[in-house]
Amino acid sequence: MDLPTLLTDRRMTRSFTGDPVDLDALARSCALALRAPTAGNCGGVRMTIVGSESIADYVERATDAEWRAASRRVAGLARAGALVVVTSRPADYAARYAEPDKAASGLADPTAWPVPYWHGDAGMATMALLLLVQDAGLGTALWGNFRHDARVLEWLGAPEESLFATVFVGHPDRLDPPSSSLRRAVPAPAERVRRRGA
């Protein structure tokens, strides 16, 4: 599928069939997604693939009982064939920008970055993964990092990393109720493109 079509057709899938996903193919997609731009050629983003047998364990750590009891989507998400946890390593960026060719930037201290590029790099790699998985005929749901990141990172064995997001991957069952966010009036993409000059 061509890129404009992939972008136009892209939707979040929050309910899956439970059918298995080819983890080797998913690993290849992750490796390709990690070719996205990375500040200073730092390579500070990581992707951890979690198989279906561990998804319930992940959901238990990434949420709490009250949220699970109230959520209308937790069952559908838990039927994903796999998930990919996207993390970044701020210390890698600080070390890279302490090197001689970058030291003048003053960014050897992570708190000095006006825009933490480890988040930008993680976002670009995640978007690439969403499109690659969609091109492979699967559905994805982007699970934002809103709670319990320390528990998830500890579970991954990467407590020093920064949790960006998790991508649920699987075969859509088309049973997900539409998101309430779709009812919001949002300016069309063309209206959000600004131009200055000729």
- List domains and CATH numbers for the chain: 3-175 (3.40.109.10)
Beta sheet of 162-170, edge-to-edge order: 45-51, 82-88, 162-170, 139-144
What's the CA gap between 88 and 161, in Å, rounded?
A: 6
CB 117 within 8 A of CB 131: no
Compute φ and ψ for 88, nearest 5 degrees.
Answer: -135, 165
Average pLDDT, the chain: 94
DSSP state of 83: E
Instruction: Flag whether pLDDT at 34 surpasses 90.
Output: yes
Mean pLDDT over residues 164-176, rounded?
95
**Residue 104, pLDDT score:** 95
Confidence of residue 146 (pLDDT cuts 50, 70, 90): confident
Q: Is the pLDDT assigned to residue 107 strictly greater than 90?
A: yes
Q: Among residues of the chain, what percentage have pLDDT more than 70? A: 100
* pLDDT over 80 at 145, yes or no: no
Confidence of residue 147 (pLDDT cuts 50, 70, 90): confident
The mean pLDDT of 159-175, rounded to a whole number, is 96
- Distance (Å, whole) CA 80 – CA 21: 8
Instruction: Return the pLDDT at 181.
Output: 78
Angle at 173 between CA 168 and CA 178, to 5 degrees: 80
For residue 176, report the phi and psi dihedrals to the nearest 5 degrees: -75, 125
User: Cβ(54)–Cβ(156) under 8 Å?
Assistant: no
What distance in Å separates the CA atoms of residue 115 and residue 57, rounded to the nearest whole number? 33
Q: Tell the residue number behind the tokens 């992570």, with chain if given.
A: 110
Q: Distance between CA 151 and CA 24 in Å, rounded?
A: 27
Contact 155, 54 (CB under 8 A): no
Cα 140 to Cα 133: distance, rounded to the nearest angstrom: 7
Q: What is the mean pLDDT of residues 91-116?
A: 96
What's the rounded mean pLDDT across residues 59-75? Answer: 91
| Distance from C-alpha of 43 to C-alpha of 118, rounded to nearest angstrom | 9
